[in-house]
Structure 1
């Protein structure tokens, strides 16, 4: 029954304030309202509440949409796992509802209210006033039920009396329009939000008794039609009209009746087979299209919130349609609908995957002094740029040169460097060199006319850096390993980074890039012919693909100028950031 429910959704959300924020959320048959308020007037960054709110919603998505079985215990576990991550300095009002088949499960934490309008009666399913309390209820849903999930701020502003007058024979969107002026007219109440959704059950379609098996051909209708025409033509060609007229009247009448009965029988068989084939086509269509359409719609609703989950939904829809699109009669209305949805899903999947087929054009060496220096010093390695200097590792040690390639100077002798280097970076004039053998990163700090050497990791910490390929520094140190793993350390301690959302693992990656001025992290993934972009929390954002990345040696990103420069085959290329 759940797949046959049509849901109309409307939201009412107050304008955020410095101390309170709220949101109403919907993806498929998952609904939520959330409000956050600061417990103390302690100064936080301006987007603190909205950032925390977004992380809570994303956490709910990850917990909910990865459940194999959705029932009261499993959804409650997902809800509790989400709420455990909420900072203690926030006061929360959180309500989540999920429809599974013909049952609705509702969970809450903190003060809130959930109302239901059934027929002409308004009832209260759940109302809490206690801070931090977690509650859970479930029940059967019925046709034309209308539910309203409300945060504390909303229930404080909108009384039951106001709700009753607003619900009088109105749709979800009309109810939201009626209530919105009350919410937006109250200054300082940023924690008021509600989601209103109305359920309508589709009418039952005639039951199709014949089961469709995988691989069944549905084109026999056309073949039978052709055979029937040939058969009738064959009969007509064999009847000699002049001879027929010579047959005695009684026999001729009997023969006529026999032919008419035969034609009626043939027509009946033809119509029966056609009806069976039509039923098969329709049954297959109903087993494919609604499920694929549901996943497509689910992906669209997730697209602005979590591209990774959106991509998973689009991929399910794509696979379902791709496996079945060839099973429908050519040019039938069912095939046209399937192909139309398949085309939309394919485009949406590309959009959610953030895959850009990059056009790389060759540019002058002056476009990237960093990569130009690599071309001029082919026997050197690990080139980095800081301020007005370029630094790299040469057989003599750590070398600096001007952006124009002149005035080379040895800063640290080779005898002071480890033998098996797996990364080199510069941050605020200090050099960081990764030693793959000892599992240590050495920090070289300039003091008077020489550089003093210290350990980045404390004595009780020695991570395995034997596969390190490259490092990047933005205050934290990012380490890329040859097996595709990425680690992040801040002040010598692991940040337990988890790279998520990749459509396929990194293959033979060689370089990682970020800095204090960049919002994102960039990985040169040679094996997959791409540059992968993630945010600094490890969440996948996009990727740029071009064949010349297979042999790329290094790259440089200039986010402000929206350019990526690539060194490949002794030439420098440029691709544009979207």
Structure 2
């Protein structure tokens, strides 16, 4: 139900000063429910002595407000109020000081909404659950939801200097208008509106009104009748039984009434939680471009409130659409995308019922899948979803490192490197590596790269079309890689550290260092790291926080994908041309839509 005008105080009209309040509604009754009611507080004060007619200027401003607010078109009332303020500020040059408040209340489905804008010498207050809240006055405006028993006091600053909060409380709860009128007697430049719903008096249902029987005159009982059992006569027994019956009925009615009252109280409490969620969601929508950080905080609070509401036990209320709307809004503002169950890109059971992805690797459109448990090496074309078995138990060993380039797949186990030709589906070369420690392995171009933390080096083995040449050093000087987690190659070398920081090296020299990406939760011991020459972003698997973090190669945060299943992911690559992030888990390859 829309708030009504309960009280109006003050108002003034002189040739030099005008202070007025107005209530505007749509002309046609059918439109009044849609547009609601618009309350206007207007103060005009001459800055120079002249022939300006303040009443005529006031009427011109009111005509503008009426035309702009009640026009047909998009039903964004806050934008309409902002347009009125902009038009007044930019299109009118009155030689006067203007103060203005536009306060709109309307119904949207089951919700009662407010939108307001303003500037100048007015103040606004909300009284909710007997507590006072200051509403900031802004030309940008504020929108929100009105709850049951909310009261609003809109007035000039001088009104609030003379009338304290206690008098306003008494006015709202006890209807003591006279106290405020006494405080304002003889004062000038005062105006105030009190909006809200008059509290209803509770009437006792007729069937609960108990009528006491009239007292009957007592008569003295003669002594000779005193010993007779006159109390339990048949008539008195009947009366007693009837009285007991009605007492039981009354007890049941009162008990049921108390139960319904308690139930209603609980429902109201739950409704308040739900109203709070809608209020924060609406506020966040309005602030997402102006103040994304505040919008993110509001949405986070709304999600927590919704979680509290869901555990309250209310039945027959579908919250899925509201929860989805909250998650979408939160993802848009924060970049955090919550995933309940990702889409399956490819089921390895279509190749072999026992096939499990231990590691995956990507070159172009070729996804290489290594199954160490069942000793299989599979090539899956990501465009056509066609697949081939490249090698079996005679080549594949446990604890292997996997890498690939356009023509070859590399496997390293027990410091022996094997080269498998994709077209011929057989091993074409195999040789023992030198005594280097292998902490990471990547194929790029025609080369293979090995991360050796102990040596502080990335070894590069150049390909000549037939074989890989002897490894040479990528760095000019030995690096401290004791805290390195993994690496990736896209022409330059990208190193990720255990604390989540990332460095880029070009021609053996560090070019960039990103200490962090402004995340709410820092990255802890990243498990997997991916980028390539076809990707504009870096992808970091953070199992501790069950997420993949996506950042640009300029160090800018893009998104984080949160899924409970991340803790069991064994492989990760990105197909940015297809807009997909692929995750290997057990016998399935899942896909997530990449945020651009």
Output the TM-score relative to the length of structure 2. 0.44
Higher Cα Rg: structure 1 or 2? 2
User: Relative contact order (alpha carbons < 8 A, sep ≥ 6): 1 or 2 greater?
Assistant: 1
Q: Report which of the two has the higher share of helix.
A: 1
TM (norm. structure 1) is 0.45
